[in-house]
Structure 1
């Protein structure tokens, strides 16, 4: 049986959870996720987690934060003057906002703290600093000239 190796294009069904069991993403009800193994399309721990799998195989992998979205970075926390918010907006902890950088690119931030004259915005990835657990089912492996599809 063909095993997944770097450079293969694979299709997987997955269920992503946090260590407390909270689901953060799943392919349930959707087409399987397709990606090229080792091409940098996935977080490193997911990429390496599918290596050696065969079609039809199911497994659970735990990915430490360092092999997922990295640790929480303090430099991604920024203080923003509260008077720069629209007057009709009441900033609240947990609220997601979009900011733009000097090049016009938009990126999401979450309000981490509301002070009297400023808010602390967190631009870390929402899954930064978290261990991720994935239940994976290998559906298809396309490598070289062969294609294997699960019946």
Structure 2
């Protein structure tokens, strides 16, 4: 099974291919910062399934969650900070290659990318959809490389 470098390469290949395809057929002609953000989300998605074990992905995601939680506490948004803390525990509640390495988790776990902007920022879901799909694409590449998708 690939390590974090293999998952990053797999995510980069799948994400790069998808960006070239959607730009080539005219489905997307966004600015470079947007393409870079989408590509970064593909790479994060490619690392995410290993959040349930001691890995580079776990270190990265929990570092980001720590920063987010600290910022929410600093802003005195304690309810949101508590939710972030609670939700951060969910992936480590199972065994490695358990439920986090499933097709339904690939679709459900990134759903806050759609839900948070919709519920808390009044952003139409269509604006968040490319970000959700980019993360799911990276997640897909991880499951495909681990051969746990089907």
Whether these two folds match at TM > 0.5 is no
Task: Tell which structure's C-alpha radius of gyration is larger.
Answer: 1
TM superposition score normalised by structure 2? 0.25
- Give the structure with the larger helix fraction: 2
TM superposition score normalised by structure 1? 0.25
